Structure formats: structure tokens, C-alpha cells
Amino acid sequence: MRRASEPGAVYLAAGTNLLDLMKGGITGPSRLVDITIFRTSIASSICRMAAFGSERFVRNADLAHDRTFARRFPAVAEALLSGASAQLRNAATVGGNLLQRTRCAYFYDVASACNKRTRASGCDALAAATGFNAIMGWSESCIATHPSDFCVPLVALDAVVELEGKTERREIPLEVFHRLPGDTPDRETC
């Protein structure tokens, strides 16, 4: 994991979002760190769902189709099944879903000004009349929305993100984990 701390390094699990960003020229990491060999989990105030097997992360489809989980958390299972195509749900991980970049159509258009891509470059989406921008939680710097259907019921259920560093483990409420854009929309998580 030492390589993950090198400048320009990013984690890679399924890569369903990261690869799109790389193909579009939005990001160009100098190193990809494969983390699929590690375990992951999702925690909420009343449930903890660990990876299905020690060699894989929890895939969106696996979690949504787990009968016990779907019975206890139908809104979360439904949100997972409503997001993306079946092919993506079978590849995408729960962790990747949580960590998707907050974005709008202008984020993917490298010819447009976007403070999320390049700090202080402007936000062309602010002047656009589309139905896909944030109506709450936006700022003069960014009006993009987080694309995860999955996060909505998790926030309603007071979900907690468990982070583990070199020396400590901590828990952060999901509602706090994703930052509002403010003056630094390129900083998306706490």
C-alpha cells in the first residue's frame, strides 16, 4: 500500500467510473493500485455487510440480491438495482459506488470550464438550463450532483463509512463524508 501514497497514484477495484474518466482525458493517474485483494464492508446503524469471500469486494448486484440484506434494507437494495445497467451492477463495487466523482455533463466535456476538474477555472453549468444539476447543496463554484442512487437511502439510514489508515480506524457519517462544493469543489470527500 506504500505505492498508493505516491503522488498521482489511485486505487482501482472494478474501475467502472475510473476507466471512463481516464478515457475522457479527465484524469491520468501515474499508477493504478489494485485493491481487489482486500476485504471491504458496509456499515449502518443496524447492519454490517462484509465481502462475499475474502478475495473480492462487495459487488452492487451481489449486495442487492442478497435475500437477508434486501429484506432488512429494501430501499438500499432497490437503489442498487436502479443504478446503471446489469453489466455495470455486476462489475461495480459498493465502495466504488460510494466514491464516484460528483459530476455533471460539463465535467466530462474538457472544453468546458469546470472547477471540479481544474480549481478556479469556472463552472459553465451554472449558466446552463438543464434538469440535471443540484437544487440544494450547490455553490457559486459548482452545481453538480453526486450520481449515486445508493447513497440516498444510506444517508436516510444514518450509514457510517469506516476508514482504516496506517495507525487508526475511524468512522464518519456518510452525510459528512461527501463534502458540499463550497469554494473547493475538487475536494469531494472529507
- List, for residues 152-176, the tens digit of each pLDDT value: 899 999 988 887 777 888 889 999 9
Mean pLDDT of 31-57: 53
Whether 98 contacts 163, CB under 8 Å: no
- Report how far residue 60's alpha carbon sits from residue 154's, in angstroms, rounded to the nearest whole number: 14
Burial of residue 190, with CB atoms counted within 10 A of its CB: 0-12 exposed, 13-18 middle, 19 or more buried? exposed
**Per-residue model confidence (pLDDT) at position 33:** 82
How does pLDDT run across 93-130, given as a tens digit for each residue? Answer: 887 888 888 888 888 898 999 999 898 999 999 888 67
